[in-house]
Amino acid sequence: MHVVPRIAALLLGLGLCTVATAGTEGAPPKRKRDNWIQLFNGKNLDGWKPKIRSHELGDNYLDTFRVENGILKVSYDKYAQFDNAFGHLAYSKPFSSYRIRIEYRFVGDQVSGGPGWAVRNSGVMLHGQAPQTIGLDQRFPVSIEAQFLGGLGTRQRTTANMCSPGTHVMMDGKLIAEHCINSTSETYHGDQWVTFEAEVRGSKLIKHFVQGKQVMEYAAPQMDDTDPVAKRLIAEAKGKKLLDAGYIYLQSESHPIEFRKVEILELVDQGSP
């Protein structure tokens, strides 16, 4: 007669003990009560504003960003040429400490005139500069980019990489000046949906996750004082370089991409949950 298991089962039923279960290594922290906010409502672009290069803030040039059948789409069917029309869709308010979850997939072919490096390339910008401060012909907001890359059918191509337009980060205690650093993610070919998540703790720590697995970690996001736009923003911030808050942007970089979920969970503090 197995007495110990029967006693353990009784205690478990009374809520007096717990059973440890194996989790996914490096998975985002779980909370008992998650109050996720849907930044994309599945119906329209309410709460979002486009900024496309050479066009004024709010001008959704050639209907680049649109919602169809519950999907937020970046489309180029009305373009004859891309003509460096790099675009970003900004959410209406800044955030500091949060988790963000995005489901995306690449579809179709790159628009004519798009740069070779932008094939199946997009992303989400974190801690971005205020939309109204972006110059008319500025290609990218000063921000930290979680770069989305789709597989090209043969070789490895990681996603959820870190790119740094006008910024730097710290990794393993060292300042990273390279523009892009690859994650450790798998490669996702074709038009499959991919789930990306980031845990952002102000200026202290940022982690990237793909399909529930941590693939990157860095800290101290900061503006690069050698970048002309960042230099101006640093001056306006009275010398402050560290980025502890900012705007969220979805990218349009010449390859069609779709988003079916963009949601955020604000975190009360910047420490561990």
Which 8-state DSSP code applies to residue 191? T
Q: Sort strands 48-52 and 194-201 into parallel, antiparallel or unpaired.
A: unpaired
What confidence category does residue 268 fall into, taking pLDDT thresholds of 50, 70 and 90? confident
pLDDT, position 200: 98
pLDDT, one tens digit per residue, over 202-247 is: 999 999 999 999 999 999 999 999 999 999 999 999 999 999 999 9
Domain 32-266: CATH superfamily is: Exo-inulinase; domain 1 (2.60.120.560)
* Cα distance between residue 206 and residue 219, in whole Å: 6
What is the reported pTM?
0.86
* Cα distance between residue 55 and residue 214, in whole Å: 37
Tell me if 15 sits within 8 A of 21, measured CB to CB.
no
Domain boundaries, the chain: 32-266
Residue 131 pLDDT > 60: yes
Which of 184, 188, 248 has the alpha carbon at shortest distance from 216? 184
